[in-house]
Amino acid sequence: MKKALILTAGWVLTIVGAILSPVPMPLPFPLPIGITMFLVGVGILTTHSKTFRRGVQYLRHHHGWLSRALEAIASHTPKVLDNLIRRIARRRDGRMARWIKAISTMVTDMVHRTRPLAHGRRARMRARDANDPN
């Protein structure tokens, strides 16, 4: 029951985030609300759904531009969110800062968890040879 609720929440956040991402928001939010919801939903789904994670790995393996874009997002997300946390932490008690830090961790974990090296025999062999100390 718990896993079904988590997966449902992940799909709802992903779909609503995809719908809201091109819509301009009238309120000044610190982050684009649609993209944030989308990334949180995808992060939840890659954590709790093996099928979704394998689908993202497949897409990243076959579309190099997508893999490069996700790696760029993962490398820039902590810096951007740390700057945002510093701005928010000055004015608030820190709950929002912890929430933003959790989003940053979720996005970077999602990108590392879906690396295309885990997809395909040849990629697994390359990864094994790269980690071999001999």
How far apart are the C-alpha atoms of 59 and 114, rounded to whole Å?
Answer: 10
25, part of any domain:
no
41, part of any domain:
no
Residue 114, token pair as written in the block: 């879906």
Residues 65, 31, 105, 107, Cα dihedral to 10° = -30
28, part of any domain:
no
> 0.75 exceeded by the pTM?
no
Taking only the tens of pLDDT, the chain with its 134 residues reads 888 998 999 999 899 988 888 777 666 666 677 777 888 888 888 888 888 888 888 888 888 888 888 788 777 776 766 676 666 665 555 666 676 777 777 777 777 777 766 556 666 677 777 776 65
Region at 120 (left for phi over 0; alpha for psi -120 to 50; beta for the rest): left
Domain count, the chain: 1
Q: Which domain holds residue 90?
A: 60-123
